[in-house]
Amino acid sequence: MSEERRLDVLRAIVQDYVATSEPVGSKALLERHRLGVSAATIRNDMAALEEEGLISAPHTSAGRVPTDAGYRRFVDRLGHMKPLSRSERVAIETFLQQAVDLDDVVDRTVRLLSSLTHQVAVMQYPSIGAATVRHVELVSLTEQRLMVVLIMSTGRVEQRILALAHSDDDLPALRAVVNELAEGKTRAQATDGIAAWVARQTQTDAQTDAQTELVPGAELIADFLAEEREERVAMAGTAHLVRSGLDFPDTIGPVLDALEEHVVLLRLFQQMAPDSGDVVAVRIGGENAVDGLRAASVVSAQYTAGGIGVLGPTRMDYPTTMAAVRAVARYVSEILEQ
């Protein structure tokens, strides 16, 4: 019973400190929470929590603040995430459904998540390696120029103009061959499939006049599919981080520097990716492997083809933030799968 009571005291300290940013004393706990024990008992529990390293005294006052370990214990004991209200859910869905393309989805997502949590929101663009080809469309511009439109499963659309002599009669056959080999495959798989088809057609015993005419176009499309695309992230709400600068013990500089390194953020999302879906991952303070983020907390979830999350000080409203991240990740997945 005493262990449960101490954890109730820890929960109350976390909640009060997040709400007020002021160290929490036993008197404040008695006034704000129905703990059902005396002030002396609360002081004893606070002493025990301090001995366990879950709270600490920032200065000589009687107040205490949670440590990284204290926040971790609090997060691990959350029985359930605070559900979003119906109006919040409708607002999220409506706002994201209004997006006109993938870039707009990403932009709206980070702005929405930042406004919901009052933290920096970060979203990994749909992973290029995991995305599959939905369709390849060919559009004749002139007899010597052909536009290839690549539509990926994530909603990403890419266009490329190729120098290729062709006739309108060639396009249906080329389109059919390319889509048969590419649809439902990753870019790498589609490239290999088309390259293998080209190799078969160039064998003497496999050639036909119609197939031979399609080989140059298929080779150019395979080259287009094989081009490397840089993984990237989008971000919004840096101003929230600046306004919370006093929550960082030394300086906010290292955190801002880390945010500028998109490669670091991509690696962080990969490291935090859970083994199963619909799971929210939380890294608090020193749990972050990135030096610049050791004074910050990161809350993330996976959507269809990447990571999404928020970054802020360890003094964070974890239940609300975790619920918002999970809800937005779900809606983004639904939109991209349509």
What superfamily would CATH give domain 86-127+231-337? GAF domain (3.30.450.40)
Q: Which amino acid is at 291?
A: D
The CA distances from residue 205 to 46, 84, 135, in Å, are 84, 65, 31
Predicted pLDDT of residue 1: 47
Q: How many of the other CB atoms lie within 10 Å of CB of 261? A: 13
pLDDT attached to residue 261? 79
What is the predicted pLDDT for the residue at 319?
A: 93
Report, as an integer, the average pLDDT of 237-245: 79
Cα–Cα dist 216/289, whole Å: 48
> Taking the model in full, what pTM does it have?
0.73
Q: How far apart are CA 262 and CA 175, in angstroms?
A: 37
Question: Alpha helix locations (H) across 228-289?
Answer: 238-243, 253-260, 262-272
Q: State the average pLDDT over residues 279-301.
A: 88
Report yes or no: 168 and 175 within 8 Å, Cβ to Cβ. Answer: no
Average pLDDT on 274-283 reads 76
Q: Is 13 helix (H, G, I), strand (E, B) or coil?
A: helix
**Which residue intervals of the chain bear CATH 1.10.10.10?**
2-76
The CA-atom distances, in angstroms, between 241 and each of 36, 244, 246, 251, 317 are: 37, 5, 10, 12, 14
Report the CATH fold assignment for 2-76. Answer: Arc Repressor Mutant, subunit A (1.10.10)
For the four alpha carbons of 231, 236, 239 and 242, in that order, the dihedral sign comes to: negative
The pLDDT of 168-174, averaged and rounded, is 85
> What does the pLDDT average to over 9-17?
92
Secondary-structure percent of the chain, ordered helix, strand, coil, rounded to 5 = 55, 20, 30
pLDDT digits (tens, 9 = 90+) for 19-48: 988 899 888 888 888 787 888 888 898 899
CATH 3.30.390 fits 133-226, yes or no: yes
pLDDT band at 18 (very low <50, low <70, confident <90, very high): very high
User: Residue 264 has what pLDDT?
Assistant: 79
Ranges in the chain annotated CATH 3.30.390: 133-226
Q: CATH 3.30.450.40 in the chain: give the residue spans.
A: 86-127+231-337
Q: Please determine, for residue 128, whether its predicted confidence score (pLDDT) is greater than 70.
A: no
d(CA 295, CA 307): 21
Q: Give residue 153's Cα distance to chain centre.
A: 17
